[in-house]
């Protein structure tokens, strides 16, 4: 059982502060990898919550593998994001203020395939032609497109 799932037994749907890692994965056409989330039916960036005894880098690598089937090689720290803009209420009513440690995956191996029940689809998209995205992913992509987050 995961750390957040265990905490939810005590706090129910009340807001938590959650630390997580999110990954930016680009293919050779500079398209970004998104996953169609099974909980919200919106597109998001691969990532998730840190577990006990894990480093944040290990979180990024584990979540990427779990959600996409690919293995991260080198990670590059992009930025840390937090605050009211990263509040998220899940469809089941769980409330979370997310602290996102954003990494760019410099290289990866393996082939895309869904490994868990968190995604319905995996696909690369051009940054100027994106589908409807989950709120936190939308903020991150807007910051990239506006030059507020440097990914080069």
23 membership: H or E segment, kind and range:
strand 16-24
What is the Cα–Cα distance from 11 to 7, expressed in whole angstroms?
Answer: 6
Across the chain, mean pLDDT equals: 94
Task: With a cut of 80, say whether residue 71 has pLDDT above it.
Answer: yes
Residue 17's contacts (CB-CB under 8 Å, 6 or more residues apart) are: 96, 97, 98, 99
Instruction: Give the CATH number of the domain where residue 30 resides.
Output: 3.90.79.10
State pLDDT tens for residues 44-59.
999 999 999 999 999 9
Task: With a cut of 80, say whether residue 73 has pLDDT above it.
Answer: yes
The reported pTM is 0.93
In a domain, 86, yes or no: yes
Residues listed for the chain? 152
In a domain, 151, yes or no: no
Q: 15 lies in which domain range? A: 3-145
Domain count of the chain? 1
Looking at residue 148, its pLDDT comes to: 93
Q: Report whether 51 contacts 2 (CB < 8 A).
A: yes
In a domain, 69, yes or no: yes
Structure tokens at 28: 């050779």
Q: For residue 118, what pLDDT band results from cuts at 50, 70 and 90? A: confident
Concatenating the DSSP letter of every residue in 46-92 gives SEEEPPTT--HHHHHHHHHHHHHS-EE--EEEEEEE-SGGGEEE-TT
Looking at residue 88, its pLDDT comes to: 92
In a domain, 150, yes or no: no
Looking at residue 117, its pLDDT comes to: 83
Task: With a cut of 80, say whether residue 1 has pLDDT above it.
Answer: no
In a domain, 61, yes or no: yes
Looking at residue 115, its pLDDT comes to: 81
Q: Report whether 45 contacts 68 (CB < 8 A).
A: no
In a domain, 50, yes or no: yes
DSSP 28: T
Question: Within 13 Å of residue 4, how many CA atoms lie on the same side as its CB?
Answer: 18
In a domain, 104, yes or no: yes
What is the Cα–Cα distance from 102 to 57, expressed in whole angstroms?
Answer: 10
């Amino acid at each position: 059982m995961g750390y957040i799932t265990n905490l939810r037994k005590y706090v129910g749907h009340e807001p938590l502060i959650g630390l997580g890692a999110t990954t930016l994965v680009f293919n050779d056409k500079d398209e970004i990898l998104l996953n169609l989330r099974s909980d919200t039916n919106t597109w998001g960036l691969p990532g998730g919550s840190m577990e006990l005894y894990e480093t944040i880098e290990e979180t990024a690598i584990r979540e990427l593998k779990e959600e996409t089937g690919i293995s991260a090689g080198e990670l590059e720290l992009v930025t840390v994001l937090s605050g009211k803009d990263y509040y998220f209420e899940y469809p089941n009513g769980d409330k979370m203020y997310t602290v996102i440690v954003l990494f760019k995956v410099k290289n990866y191996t393996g082939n895309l395939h869904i490994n868990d029940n968190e995604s319905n689809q995996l696909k690369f998209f051009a940054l100027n032609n994106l589908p409807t995205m989950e709120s936190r992913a939308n903020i991150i992509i807007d910051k990239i497109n506006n030059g507020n987050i440097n990914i080069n």
